[in-house]
Amino acid sequence: MICLISPGLLSHECSFPNKSPRFNQFKRRNPHFVIIRSSSQNSENPFPPIKSAKRVVLVRHGQSTWNEEGRIQGSSNFSVLTKKGESQAETSRQMLANDTFDVCFNSPLNRSKKTAEIIWDARKEAMIPEFDLREIDLYSFQGLLKNEGTEKYGEEYRQWQNDAPNFEIDGHYPVRELWVRARNCWAKILSHEGESVLVVAHNAINQALVATAMGLGTEYFRVLLQSNCGVSVLDFTPVDDSESPHICLNRLNQTPKSPIPPTSSAGRKSSKQLILVCHGNVEATSPNSPDGPMDMLGVIQSQKTAELLLDLKVTSVVCSSRIASIDSATTISKVQEGAVCLGADTVPRLVEMKQLNELEVDSIFQQSRTDPIESSFLHSGWLNNFEDQVATDIWNRSGKAWKSLLDELSDESEGEKNLVVVGHPAVHIALIGQCLNLTKEWKGSFHLDAGSISVIDFPDGPSGKGVIRCLNYTAHLGRWSIPVTRSSVDNKEV
């Protein structure tokens, strides 16, 4: 293990028997996205004003028979849930059992309707079938085995795989049609008086719902992953009686099983992965001295995260200079190196631990006139509370960090590389924005909790488009995780 200690942290001990610390310091913009310069509100198709805050929970259906067979389903209605799919839906039911919902909208297709019935269980309120929530219409492709696509349709199928937003079949542009349909769905969902809404639908339509809510175009198709029974959460907060609500993605693709083991991203294998770990909860500190250690809850959160990451062979752990980040990174590294003793591996794991100065944001927050940060990031959109200069400084710093991390991932001497990055939620939100080629105006459009993890895959390598596998995943925290229909500030008992 390589431990980096900055001069400003000499009072913080980080010692490892028989190992000498070595200092490690560790450029690029993603060409596949169009840089968006507006806010997260969609100026061309604004959402109607709302009178009270709403939380919308999206769930994709469980595994279906056509998922299992590798067939293209589209909006066909011939497949049903497998036994595994029913089990996934049951796991989701248990995960959401203590959450309160006012209404459930569901796709009328069999696989989604059955998933919704299992999750909705004994709740008395009626489910509302919504035809616009059906899966993407793929016309002649529907029913094809995926390996038949190239043989029968050649260039059309290759375009579906590589340039889906411009893909045309039978005189239709399926992804463009899907985005229009998703906006229509939001008008119906937001007009309902319920404040806590469950939506059970499909992979592509859920991607479109997330993207259109945030004002992202069709180029983001297959970038915001939706696994079978994955849960995504969007918060809508009223601004005033005449403006569109503020919209924040609270979490993305919280799955019934761990999101860590390497699988496919949008149908493609990925050998390069960034795991963004928010350090554990920090002890109460003064505004003039915010760099404190983790409290007892934070220590538990970091240990739970380290245990989850045992499913993955971590190559390097990169952290900020913050005490809580170093402690969380150290816990992850030690558990990785104990994988053999813990029965998680048959060979020793050697983990390199590095410090990246650009991940440090405390000095930026100290310049702010806003309240101390540890109490601020408990609600959706908390970064909007800070002055524009703070957002600019964090965004600029995260841009430098992003380039360094991509350079680290680009090392061709290592085929598979899993890089864990430990830091404050603010810098991780900015890194997610850098991945998506957004601008600082998106600073309040994502939410991360202490102890959460977010995963970014690079199926085309670090120079290609990053795929968000999950965002703000907290299921590994067990009893200390936050129910999906309840905001962090309401979760006083945690």
Tokens standing for residue 325: 């980040």
Specify whether 135 is catalytic.
yes
Strand 316-319 with 417-423, pairing? parallel
Question: 87 labelled as ligand-binding?
Answer: no
For residue 476, give the H/E element and its range. Answer: none
Specify whether 61 is catalytic.
yes
Phi, psi of 38 (to 5 degrees): -90, 180
Compute the distance between CA of residue 485 and CA of residue 38 in angstroms, rounded to an integer: 28
- Hunting for tokens 């101390």 — which residue is that? 372
DSSP 429-459: HHHHHHHTT--GGGTTSB---TT-EEEEE-T
DSSP 320-365: -SSHHHHHHHHHHHHHHHTTTTTTS-SS----EEEE-GGG--HHHH
Compute the distance between CA of residue 92 and CA of residue 286 in angstroms, rounded to an integer: 40
For residue 206, give the H/E element and its range. Answer: helix 203-213
**Contact status, residue 312 vs residue 261, Cβ threshold 8 Å:** yes
Amino acid at 110: N
Looking at 135, 374, 408, 441, which residue is catalytic?
Answer: 135
Question: 60 labelled as ligand-binding?
Answer: yes
The closest of 118, 110, 127 to 67, measured between CA atoms, is 110
Residues 311/315/317/318 CA torsion (nearest 10 deg)? -140
Looking at 12, 13, 61, 177, which residue is catalytic?
Answer: 61
Compute the distance between CA of residue 195 and CA of residue 101 in angstroms, rounded to an integer: 8
DSSP for residue 416: S
Question: 83 labelled as ligand-binding?
Answer: no
Question: 66 labelled as ligand-binding?
Answer: yes
For residue 354, CA distances in Å to 218, 276, 307, 327, 357 come to 37, 14, 20, 13, 10
Question: 251 labelled as ligand-binding?
Answer: no
Question: 64 labelled as ligand-binding?
Answer: yes
Question: 54 labelled as ligand-binding?
Answer: no
> What radius of gyration, in Å, describes the C-alpha atoms of the chain?
22
**Contact status, residue 59 vs residue 119, Cβ threshold 8 Å:** yes
Output the CA angle 322-323-325, nearest 5 degrees. Answer: 65
Strand, helix or coil for residue 229: coil
- Helix boundaries (H) for 121-154: 149-153
Q: What is the set of active-site residues?
A: 61, 135
Give the annotated binding-site residues for substrate: 60-67, 111, 146
Give the annotated binding-site residues: 60-67, 111, 146
